[in-house]
Amino acid sequence: MQFIDPLNNTNLENYKLLIGSVIPRPIAFITTISKEGVVNGAPFSYFNIVSSTPPLLSIAIRRENGKIKDTLRNILENKEFVIHIVDSTNVEAINKTAINFPYNNSEIEYADLTLIESIKVKVPGVKEAKIRLECKLEDRFEIKDKETIVTDLVIGKVVGYNIDEDILFEGKINTQKLDPVARLAGNSYSKLGEIFELKKYKL
């Protein structure tokens, strides 16, 4: 076992160790809308559940050279966004949206994704996702490296679930029918492998 002190690493070295260790990571494809009305779409793999009561999700959005991304700018301006779960049927299209487009250029059009109206938020979702989670901004935290803000941690409150009826059974999601795709390191992704069950131990 080798011990590595993160203080002796570069940012890139820490990044590589973390994204190769914390796997697989679910991918959130997030749509937002600018004040000019342009719909932005981008994938994020620093994403997970915070709480079910109330239903809260977290997304960490890294800054690039101190500049905030369009996704964060739109969320802060409108306080609304839609999270889509990436699956095997839409991962190729969503991967196209990871390109750094100029501000107010729509990744949705480039990826040939289909916008669909949301129920409780003004931001539209994309029809190609089996799960769309309509969210409102609950909180936002600035994460600093020394004195520089490097990441924004966004907490979204789910105000509406849009779930394909084919994957929904008695209030539960059929994982195999959802067929989610997860992020690994580099250009690697993963699909579901062997699924097994373990019963909880009781004292």
pLDDT tens string 16-36? 999 999 999 999 999 999 989
Residue 109 is predicted with a pLDDT of 85
**What is the DSSP secondary-structure string of 15-46?**
HHHHHHHS-SEE-EEEEEE-TTS-EEEEEESS
Which residue, among 130, 101, 127, has the nearest Cα to 113 in the 3D structure? 127
Residue 149: C-alpha distances to residues 24, 49, 59 (Å): 27, 23, 16
Average pLDDT, the chain: 93
Answer yes or no: is pLDDT of 104 > 70: no
pLDDT in tens, 140-182: 999 999 889 999 999 999 999 999 999 999 999 999 999 999 9
Q: Which residue has the tokens 């539960």?
A: 172
Domains recognised in the chain with CATH numbers: 26-185 (2.30.110.10)
